[in-house]
């Protein structure tokens, strides 16, 4: 079985349950990681994670965007992170890193 990857995290379990149901109705296998732990000790584990098979992740994300559960921007790298990555590459070259 392919590895599971997290495509959405939330502290609102009901929101993820609806998204999970939506994906399952479209033939995507889903799992809510840390759902029971969250019920016992909320906020200690970073929320509940909606996971799908790695080979179905892109299709699942596309469906969530289409269904209005997430925005496309949620999966884009922020400009500030891109700037940091460029700066890191420059520093690495400066010190002879490969």
Question: 27-85, pLDDT tens digit by residue?
Answer: 999 999 999 888 888 877 889 999 999 999 999 999 999 999 999 888 888 889 989 99
pLDDT, residue 48, reads 94
Across the chain, the runs of DSSP E, i.e. the strands, are 4-10, 30-33, 48-53
pLDDT, residue 98, reads 60
Mean pLDDT of 14-20: 95
pLDDT, residue 74, reads 84
Q: Whole-angstrom Cα distance, residue 45 to residue 34?
A: 8
- Could you give the domains of the chain? 4-94 (3.30.70.1530)
Note the Cα 5 to chain centre separation in Å. Answer: 7
The DSSP code sequence of 65-92 is HHHTSS-GGGGSPPHHHHHHHHHHHHHH
Where residue 94 falls among pLDDT bands split at 50, 70, 90?
Answer: confident
Cβ neighbours of residue 24 closer than 8 Å, sequence gap 6 or more? 30
């Amino acid at each position: 079985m392919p590895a599971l990857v997290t495509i959405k995290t939330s502290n609102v379990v009901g929101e993820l349950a609806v998204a999970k149901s939506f994906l399952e109705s479209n033939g995507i296998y889903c799992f809510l990681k840390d759902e029971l732990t969250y019920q016992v000790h909320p906020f200690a584990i970073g929320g509940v994670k909606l996971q799908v098979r790695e080979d179905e992740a892109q299709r699942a994300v596309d469906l969530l965007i289409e269904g209005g559960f997430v925005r496309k921007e949620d999966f884009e790298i922020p400009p500030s992170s891109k700037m940091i990555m460029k700066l890191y590459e420059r520093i690495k070259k400066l010190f002879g890193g490969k």
